[in-house]
Amino acid sequence: MSWHGTDAEPRLHIVTGKGGTGKTTVAAALATALAGEGRRVLLVETEERQGISQVLDVAPLGTQETEVSTGLDGGEVWGLSIVAGAALVEYLRLFYRLGRAGDLLHRMGAIEFATTIAPGVRDVLIGGKVYESVRRTASGRAPGSRRGRHLGEPPAYDAVVLDAPPTGRVGRFLDVTGQLADLARVGPIRNQADAIRQLLHSGTTVVHLVTLLEQLPVQETLDAAAELETDRLRIGTLVVNQTPDASVREDVEVVAAGETDPARLAERLESVGIRTSPAMIEGLVQTAAEAVTRRDLEATLEDAVVGAGRPVLTLPHLPEGVGPDAVRRLAAELAAQGVAP
Ligand SMILES: Nc1ncnc2c1ncn2[C@@H]1O[C@H](COP(=O)(O)OP(=O)(O)O)[C@@H](O)[C@H]1O
Ligand SMILES: [Mg+2]
Q: Write down all domains in the chain, each with its CATH number in brackets.
A: 12-84+119-243+309-336 (3.40.50.300)
- Our answer on whether the CB atom of 317 is closer than 6 Å to any ligand 1 atom is yes
Answer yes or no: are the C-beta atoms of 37 and 187 closer than 8 Å. no
**pLDDT of amino acid 141:** 62
> Residue 1's pLDDT is what?
37
318 touches ligand 1 (CB under 6 Å): yes
* Cα 63 to middle of ligand 2, angstroms: 18
**pLDDT (0 to 100) of residue 139:** 82
Give the mutation target among 25, 212, 239 for probing the ligand 1 site: most ligand atoms within 8 A of CB: 25
pLDDT reported for residue 108: 67
Distance 327 CA to ligand 2 centre (A): 14
Ligand nearest to the CA of 217: 1
**Half-sphere exposure for 57 (CA within 13 Å, toward CB):** 9
Give residue 111's pLDDT.
Answer: 64
CA distances from 257 to 55, 252, 260, 292, 319 (A): 39, 8, 8, 10, 26
Give the pLDDT score at 145: 54
46: left (phi over 0), alpha (psi -120 to 50) or beta: beta
Successive 10-residue mean pLDDT values, the chain, 341 residues: 56 96 98 92 87 95 94 94 83 69 67 67 87 88 52 86 94 84 74 90 96 96 95 96 85 77 87 93 88 91 95 95 96 95 84
pTM of the full structure? 0.89
Q: What is the pLDDT of residue 92?
A: 72
- Among protein residues, the one with the nearest Cα to ligand 1's atom 10 is 22
